[in-house]
Amino acid sequence: MDIFLSYNWNIKEQVKLLHEQLENENFKVWRDDKQLHAGNSSLTAELAKSIKNSKVIICCITKDYCKSYNCNLEIQFAFTCKKQMIVLMIDKIELNEIDNIQIEDRGINSGIGFLIR
């Protein structure tokens, strides 16, 4: 797989367009709502496998992305795997602001600002 798209579902329509554009340029693209078929494995295991098998991770950063526990897991796992990442700032957010965004229902701040610096 060439590209793994990491995004919050609130921008699913925008990401679908990005996916189509990338495929038109002959990239093999993985997007969860199109290709996630965990079967007997857990969703996180399937996501981890897809991240590991991708050459590049495109992270579509929005405030909701920073608040999402699952999005935080994806970008942190990609960082840990030393994957090449392309960061698309969809929302206009200062890095300092990202550092203060709390992950929903977790009571901790997102670590995304640190990862994309």
Interval 29-46: pLDDT, tens: 999 876 565 555 566 788
Distance CA(5)–CA(18), nearest Å, equals 9
Q: Tens digit of pLDDT for each residue in 44-102?
A: 788 899 999 999 999 999 999 999 999 999 999 999 999 999 999 999 999 889 989 99
Q: What share of the chain is helix, strand, coil (3-state, %, to 5)?
A: 50, 15, 35
Print the domain residue range for 17: 3-116
Q: What is the pLDDT of residue 117?
A: 83
For residue 12, give the CATH number of its domain: 3.40.50.10140
Give Cα separations from 69 to 13, 64, 98, 101, 104 (angstroms): 21, 10, 14, 12, 7
Work out how many domains the chain is built from and give that number: 1
